[in-house]
Amino acid sequence: MRTSYAKSRPVHNRYLVRERDRSLLVDLARVAGAILVVGSALLGYTWLHLGLIENGYAVGELQQKIVELERRERHLRLEAAYLASPPRLEAWAVEHLGMSAPELDQMIFVGVSRGGLP
């Protein structure tokens, strides 16, 4: 659309130089710094949280191991009490070693003389 009063001229912008906007760079640096701070804080929190979870699992495993070892200790104590019981030892000695209870003439009494009182 051409009008009689408007003439088009070619624009010669050969000598125009665009200036850098310094405030834009400062704003960009501030935003980048804020992102770095928040990102590093989130990474630190995540790292600590994962360490806490890992230690929680380790504590749980150790508690299970303690329960298992206590159960095994009770079992071994019962077995030791059974194996050390006098009736069982006497039966084993008679059966495997051929031992028998001593007779009265085989016994020696300490502190008693043969003729009477000491």
Residues 90-99: tens digit of each pLDDT = 999 999 999 9
Handedness of CA 41, 42, 48, 52 (dihedral sign): positive
For the chain, the structural domain boundaries read 22-96
Task: Give dist(CA 62, CA 74) in Å, integer.
Answer: 18
Comparing 43 with 116, which gets the higher pLDDT? 43
Phi, psi dihedral angles at 114 (to 5 degrees) = -75, -25
Task: Give dist(CA 63, CA 100) in Å, integer.
Answer: 49
Q: Which of 62, 86, 82, 85 is nearest to 74 (CA)?
A: 82
With a cut of 90, say whether residue 102 has pLDDT above it.
Answer: no
Q: What is the pLDDT of residue 108?
A: 85
The CA-atom distances, in angstroms, between 102 and each of 9, 17, 46, 96, 112 are: 139, 124, 77, 17, 18
Residues 14-72: tens digit of each pLDDT = 777 777 788 888 999 999 999 999 999 999 999 999 999 999 999 999 999 999 999 99
**What's the CA angle centered on 38, arms 34 and 44, to 5 degrees?**
145
The token pair that represents 111 in the structure block: 């502190």
The CA-atom distances, in angstroms, between 64 and each of 54, 61, 78 are: 16, 5, 21
